[in-house]
């Protein structure tokens, strides 16, 4: 069985500050891990994904995430927040055809 | 390539009515997924098609729900005898043939409100 826990339903940062969104997963098989972003009234857009290989994954819009097997974590970071980053972020774990999503973290960016 | 499209974008219905949603995946994507998303939650898997074959259904998909993909292209999701608890965003996603975990491309969703 697979599951995802996103720590913090809301995160607030100032523009220009570091963004850190936390995700821990559980998987009985080597996981595929994803981060998606969702803007209001829109579908989900893939930010980045980890399948195999390099554990530091770079995505779109300056985001990156690091797969840490020992910590079962896949935290999302961005060095400098922009107002346009304000959205809902979902961590997900996949294996086979099924993808399990976390409950999401809403990111607020203050001017 | 116009992306995954869903129709309608919004639906308001009265309890007990039937509703049908349509999803048009990206052309040449043979895999299609339906998810349900309620407020404050992530998408929950409902069902999965590979071409026209429905390979998996979640326990969330009660007998009132049925999904089809008759020609392996567009898909429909029907909810019979809607209940207020069915109010949610219904998301469709598609992915291309290939490895097990190809990226899923999501549509904008259909927001259902059952009064």
Tens-digit pLDDT string for chain A (111 aa): 789 999 999 999 999 999 999 999 998 878 899 999 999 878 899 999 998 888 899 999 999 999 999 999 999 999 999 999 999 999 999 866 778 999 999 999 999
Sign of the dihedral defined by the CA atoms of residues B14, B62, A38, A21, in that order: positive
Mutation for testing the B interface, residue in A31, A44, A87, A88 having most B CBs under 10 Å: A44
Phi, psi of A22 (to 5 degrees): -95, 140
Contacts of A59 in chain B (CB under 8 A): none
Contact in structure between A46 and A63 (CB atoms under 8 Å)? no
For an interface test with A, which of B26, B42, B108, B109 has the most A Cβ atoms less than 10 Å from its Cβ? B42
Mutate to test the interface with A, among B43, B57, B89 (most CBs of A within 10 A): B43
The reported pLDDT for the residue numbered B103 is 82
Tell me the DSSP string of A52-89. Answer: SS-SEEE-GGG-EEEEETTTTEEEEEESS--GGG-EEE
Yes or no, beta carbons of B55 and A97 under 8 Å apart = yes
Look at residue B84 in the predicted model and tell me its pLDDT.
96
Q: Using alpha carbons, list the distances in angstroms from residue A76 to A47, A57, A87, B45, B78.
A: 10, 10, 14, 23, 36
Instruction: Using 70 as the pLDDT threshold, list the residues of chain B that sit under it.
Output: 1, 99-101
For residue A101, which residues of chain B lie inside 8 Å, CB to CB? 35, 42-44
pLDDT at A97: 74
Q: How would you class B1 by CB atoms within 10 Å of its CB: exposed for 0-12, middle for 13-18, buried for 19 or more?
A: exposed
Q: How far is CA B62 from CA A70, B83, B86, B89, B90, in A?
A: 38, 12, 11, 17, 15
Q: Which two tokens stand for residue A6?
A: 């996103």
CA angle at A63 for the pair A61 and A64, rounded to the nearest 5°? 145
Q: What is the layout of strands, in order, in the sheet containing A64-68? A: A3-7, A19-26, A73-78, A64-68, A56-58
DSSP bridge partners of B50: B31, B53
pLDDT of amino acid A57: 95
Q: Which of A70, A69, A73 is nearest to A91 (CA)?
A: A73
Distance from CA of A80 to the nearest CA of B (A): 25
pLDDT of residue B60: 79
CA angle (B10, B61, B92) in 5-degree steps: 45
Distance from CA of A49 to the nearest CA of B (A): 8
Rounded CA-CA distance B51/B70 in Å is 9
Nearest CA to A45 out of B20, B57, B3, B7 is that of: B3
Query: With an 8 Å Cβ cutoff, are A99 and B4 in contact?
Result: no
Which residue from B55, B101, B106 is facing A94, i.e. has the nearest CB? Answer: B101
* pLDDT value of position B99: 66
Q: Mark yes or no for CB contact A45/B103 under 8 Å.
A: no
Chain A residues with CB under 8 Å of B43 CB are 44, 90, 101
């Amino acid at each position: 069985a697979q599951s995802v826990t996103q720590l913090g339903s809301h995160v607030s940062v100032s523009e220009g500050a570091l963004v850190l969104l936390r995700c821990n997963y559980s998987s009985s098989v080597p996981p595929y891990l994803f981060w998606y972003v969702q803007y209001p009234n829109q579908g989900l857009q893939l930010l980045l994904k980890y399948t195999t290989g390099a554990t530091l994954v770079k995505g779109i819009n300056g985001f990156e995430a690091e797969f840490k097997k020992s910590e079962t974590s896949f935290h999302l970071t961005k060095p400098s927040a922009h107002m346009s980053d304000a959205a809902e972020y979902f961590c997900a774990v996949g294996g086979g055809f099924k993808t399990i999503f976390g409950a999401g973290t809403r990111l607020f960016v203050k001017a | 390539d116009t992306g995954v499209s869903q129709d309608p974008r919004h639906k308001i219905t009265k309890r007990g009515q039937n509703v049908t949603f349509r999803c048009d995946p990206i052309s040449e994507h043979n895999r299609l997924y339906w998810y349900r998303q309620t407020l404050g939650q992530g998408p929950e898997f409902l069902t999965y098609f590979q071409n026209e074959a429905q390979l998996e259904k979640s326990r969330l998909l009660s007998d009132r729900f049925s999904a089809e993909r008759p020609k392996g292209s567009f898909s429909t999701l029907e909810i019979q005898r809607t209940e207020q608890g069915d109010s949610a965003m219904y998301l469709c996603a598609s992915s291309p043939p290939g490895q097990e975990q190809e990226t899923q491309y999501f549509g904008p969703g259909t927001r259902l409100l059952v009064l």
